[in-house]
Amino acid sequence: MSDAPDLIFRSLADPTRRSLFERLCREGELTVGALTAQAGVSQPAVSKHLAQLKQAGLVQDRQAGRQTHYRAEPGALVPLIDWTAQQTAFWRARFDALEDLLGRIDQ
Amino acid sequence: MSDTSPEMRSVVIERDLTHPPGRIWRALTQPHLMAEWLMQTDFEPVLGRSFSFQAEWGAVNGQVTEIEPERRLAYSWGDGVLDTVVTWTITPTSDGARLRMEQTGFRKDQPRYLMGATAGWPRFFDNLEQLLAREPA
């Protein structure tokens, strides 16, 4: 039904990306330099991982002068844990359609 | 290893309708009417009967588990990822009837992905619910 969960799963399957995401969740906003300091990989590699996390909706960035600051968006994980939001929207639309039909059915 | 059984959740929708129970029951159980508001289906209101719902995005398979004409209807609702039961309840009111839909179950793929094999991941997942609870809606 949606490709977003697959993109998120693929994104978090990589251990370096997962640890970058986890660190941003724990520590709040960090620059690429600060993230690289403990990442165990080069800065270009960190930037590439962050770009992928951003594409999956898991992190957001903002420019402040020459620095790029990243922050986590853990809310992106909610649909994975909680299928109920999507199904609630589905059933609300079905109820609307049902009421419409009932109004059109003769006795 | 931590418990990998997925968590049961429910969706409940309830509406007061200005229509009689009999009309609502027909809309819930007659395939040509169900196609108008739900999905194309080979549904039959018979206990134990298996059927499917077809949509552009895929199919949902079901089996009738409870049936009390004009009062209650329940069937399983699974699409390979969701494993749920949908229960309809019709309660007469002074202007018609209250219709309640409850869908209860879980996502089958949830534990495999969210409780991964590496050392760091389960620890992070322990904190995840707290983190999500802090996020603004």
Higher pLDDT, residue B130 or A25? A25
Inform me whether the C-beta atom of residue B23 falls under 8 Å from chain A C-beta atoms: yes
Chain B residue with CA closest to A87: the answer is B11
Looking at residue B111, its pLDDT comes to 46
Higher pLDDT, residue A84 or B26? B26
Dist CA A87 CA A93 (whole Å): 10
B131 contacts A25? CB cut-off 8 A: yes
CB A12 within 8 A of CB A4: no
User: Per-residue pLDDT for chain B (137 aa), expressed as one digit of tens each?
Assistant: 445 566 788 999 999 999 999 999 999 999 999 999 999 999 999 999 999 999 887 899 999 999 999 999 999 999 988 899 999 999 999 999 999 999 999 887 654 444 433 334 445 555 555 555 554 44
In 3D space, the residue among A56, A75, A64 whose CA is nearest the CA of residue A31 turns out to be: A64
Query: A57: burial class by Cβ within 10 Å (0-12, 13-18, 19+)?
Result: middle
CATH architecture, domain A4-79? Orthogonal Bundle (1.10)
Inform me whether the C-beta atom of residue A27 falls under 8 Å from chain B C-beta atoms: no
Q: Report the complex ipTM.
A: 0.79
Query: A22: burial class by Cβ within 10 Å (0-12, 13-18, 19+)?
Result: buried
Q: What is the CATH number of domain B10-107?
A: 3.30.530.20
Domain layout of chain B by residue ranges: 10-107
Comparing CB atoms, the residue among A22, A87, A91 nearest residue B124 is A22
- The pTM for the full model equals 0.63
B11 contacts A87? CB cut-off 8 A: yes
CA atoms within 13 A on the CB side of A36: 13
